Amino acid sequence: MSVKKDFLVEIHTEELPPKALSRLAKSFLQEVEAHLVKLQLSYKEAVFYATPRRLAVLVKSLMSQQPEAHIERRGPAVSAAFDGEGKPSPACLGFAKSCGVSVEQLITIKNNQGEWVGFQQRVPGKTVQELLPTIIQESLAALPIPKRMRWGSGTVEFVRPVKSVILLYGDDVVDAKILGVRSGRETSGHRFHCKKIISISRPSAYVKYLEKGYVIADFERRKQMIAEQAQAIASHTFDADARVEISAALLDEVTGLVEWPVAILGDFDQRFLDVPAEALISAMQEHQRYFPVVDKHGKLLPHFVAISNIEARDMQHVIAGNERVLRARLSDAAFFFETDKKQRLEYFVELLKGSVFQAKLGTVYDKAVRLSTLAGAIAKTIGADETAGARAGLLAKADLATAMVGEFPEMQGVAGSYYALNDSESRDVANAVKEHYMPRFSGDAVPTNKISCAVALADRLDTLVGIFGINQQPTGDKDPFALRRAALGILRILIECKIDLDLQLLLEAAVHGYQCSLENTAVVEQVLNFILERLKPWYQEQAINPDVFASVAALGVTRPYDFHRRIQAVQRFKQLPDAESLSVANKRVSNILAKYDTPIDAKAVNASLFESDAERELAQKLDVFDRVISPLYHDARYVDVLSQLADLRKPVDDFFEKVMVMADDKAQRENRLLLLTKLRSLFLQVADVALLQK
């Protein structure tokens, strides 16, 4: 009889990569669970634990043995298994031998298709002690580790050297050799606070035993402790409303750096606040893994919160050490900032001649010149200052040659905006230098003004056209120039900033900016398709149904903002009571027109050929709607266009109910086809609603 006990696996290692710790632990849990399910080993629940020096999984109430399996094998047909005297044929004897039994032990399997000789066997399930070593080995092998390492003289590979392995099922050790280490029940506590070996008596005691050894095993609990401690200690500053700026990514990373979190509050000199806050925050977050402290208005205060991995007797000594390290980084930032300001930002544009953008496409300076021309043209088109657009385009990449960005790469754009303001450049130009990188990632904000949008569009268009122009399009997962992100950025800027520009014209202007001939003569068409392909997944993320997208995409619209307004209109139209009937009618019209391949002689509908009131009413309605809808369509009021067309449901239904389109008389038939063509054309002004589904 199978019993249920808890199971624990812990892989104790040298320090694991902190940024990857959470992902590794979750993947380990997922792999273990997948193997248990596959092997039909039931359990109550499973959880992961992760610290800088261990990955662990606890499975609660795990079945001790697989269920018994019933195996049935089918052999030759009875007619072929025995001869006329009832003696087994060679085929029957061979089947019995393959099953490891005599002919007498075979059975007859019957169904509505016939009779066969067969063999049934009950196979007892394997025990967890037999299965768990393989489960763990295969789960570890499947972890997303980009580069595995070896240690010592062995050939075993893992993300970091393995110190010990725990495999416990109930109170018993599951004997196995995992990653070159024999399993047991012993592990180590905190590197400094716990020198003795910890012996785990049973899986459920794991968290409690480790906490006695100054290790908080639960990753999420440790993360919550860090956030709460950081916020609590920030309140000890001179500003009662002070709070800690905690980014999710940094919190995850810090959680992956400590086993016993202790928050400490440090200070830095007030004079450093003259340096751009972004540089100070970068020094704290990116370089030191500290949390900055801000006031209620979000203004940076001269304090920081660090998370120590030890509880020292003299925490002031620890604080002083952290302050000393940060002071050096902030001094560097201040020095670079003051040094860069001695030159105008335009001075650094010339230095870009020494930086290669792409071997076949020239230097970053060449790109800056192209950006100036293209950004100025776009700015003029969207009603912004052409001169400001050109100026911002020229200066956009200048800070890449500054000392600040050389030491703090994450300051690109930000540093340039400060230097632009220092040079008395306009606020729009300074903002564009910073914001032209936006959106930098999924969910990031788009630029806030037209000049910034013009430079942001120019930058991405220039890169896409250039890289496609030398036939280095992204393939598979490889996208070294982040062209997919650039394409989505263009779409988001045009749509979210409500800029109604034609992508085809923008791309042609970008191609014109390259003085040298690009290798790829189809570059505009290819880049246009590449950008528009990003729309479908983007709308899927916004819960736009595929049929709604398809109905607009069928029209080949190349103006993303216009495309977006059509999507919104069709989405609303689809909710109307008459939408389904009109969609079905449009499908029917589309099919009729597609099948009629004979050229129609007449150019306009002839009212004298009408035979029924249904024809006359539909024709009259179409004439009225044509006049009403024309100004609405001209103003891109697509929601109103489709709302008006929804009133066509009754005359369209009456027409199909009472009129035979494919009449024997050619003149009548073609007159009715022209009427349907007019109906279809009215809808196709916005979208192909025939593609809508129920």
Together in a domain, 147 and 263: no
Q: Out of 38-52, 77-91, 554-568, 664-678, pick the least confident.
A: 664-678
Together in a domain, 330 and 382: no
Confirm if 489 and 430 have CB atoms less than 8 A apart. Answer: no
For 496-527, give one letter per residue: b (16+ CB within 10 A) or e. bbebebbbeebbebbbebbeeebebeebbebb
Q: What string of DSSP letters covers 523-585?
A: HHHHHHHHHHHTHHHHHHHTT--HHHHHHHHTTT---HHHHHHHHHHHHHHTTSTTHHHHHHH
Confirm if 226 and 261 have CB atoms less than 8 A apart. Answer: yes
CATH code: domain of residue 419: 1.10.3210
Together in a domain, 424 and 291: no
Tell me whether residue 509 is in a domain: yes
Count the domains in the chain.
5
Together in a domain, 34 and 143: yes
Structure tokens at 282: 């970068």
In the DSSP assignment, the letter for residue 448 is: S
* Structural domain ending residue among the three candidates 510, 533, 556: 533
Together in a domain, 271 and 303: yes
Together in a domain, 104 and 20: no
Together in a domain, 29 and 154: yes
Tell me whether residue 135 is in a domain: yes
Among the listed residues 336, 359, 338, the one whose alpha carbon sits nearest the alpha carbon of residue 406: 336
**Bridging pattern class, strands 4-13 and 172-173:** unpaired
Write the pLDDT tens digit of every residue in 586-608.
888 888 887 777 777 667 787 87
Tell me the β-bridge partners of 60: 45
**Using N-to-C axis directions, what is the helix angle for 21-38 and 128-141, rounded to 10°?**
140
Structure tokens at 590: 């589309």
Among the listed residues 244, 212, 207, the one whose alpha carbon sits nearest the alpha carbon of residue 229: 244
| 370 vs 509: CA distance, rounded Å | 10
Confirm if 504 and 524 have CB atoms less than 8 A apart. Answer: yes
Tell me whether residue 108 is in a domain: yes
Write the pLDDT tens digit of every residue in 345-377.
999 999 999 999 999 999 999 999 999 999 999
* Structural domain ending residue among the three candidates 307, 340, 373: 340
In the DSSP assignment, the letter for residue 113 is: T
Question: Region 599-626: what's the mean pLDDT?
Answer: 81
Domain that holds residue 445: 351-533
1 has pLDDT over 60: no
Q: At CA 592, angle to CA 587 and CA 597, rounded to 5? A: 135
Together in a domain, 203 and 243: no
Together in a domain, 256 and 291: yes
* H-helix or E-strand spanning residue 461: helix 450-469
Question: Region 427-449: what's the mean pLDDT?
Answer: 95
Together in a domain, 528 and 583: no
* Structural domain ending residue among the three candidates 192, 212, 232: 212
28 has pLDDT over 90: yes
Tell me whether residue 556 is in a domain: no
Confirm if 270 and 302 have CB atoms less than 8 A apart. Answer: yes
Tell me the β-bridge partners of 117: 108
| 439 vs 418: CA distance, rounded Å | 20
Tell me whether residue 553 is in a domain: no
Tell me whether residue 628 is in a domain: yes
Confirm if 36 and 135 have CB atoms less than 8 A apart. Answer: yes
Tell me whether residue 559 is in a domain: no
Together in a domain, 367 and 509: yes
Write the pLDDT tens digit of every residue in 631-680.
998 898 999 888 888 888 888 888 888 878 888 777 888 788 888 888 88
Tell me whether residue 558 is in a domain: no
Of the two residues 274 and 236, the one the predictor is more confident about is 274
Together in a domain, 83 and 98: yes
**Bridging pattern class, strands 162-169 and 181-184:** parallel
CATH code: domain of residue 586: 1.10.730.10
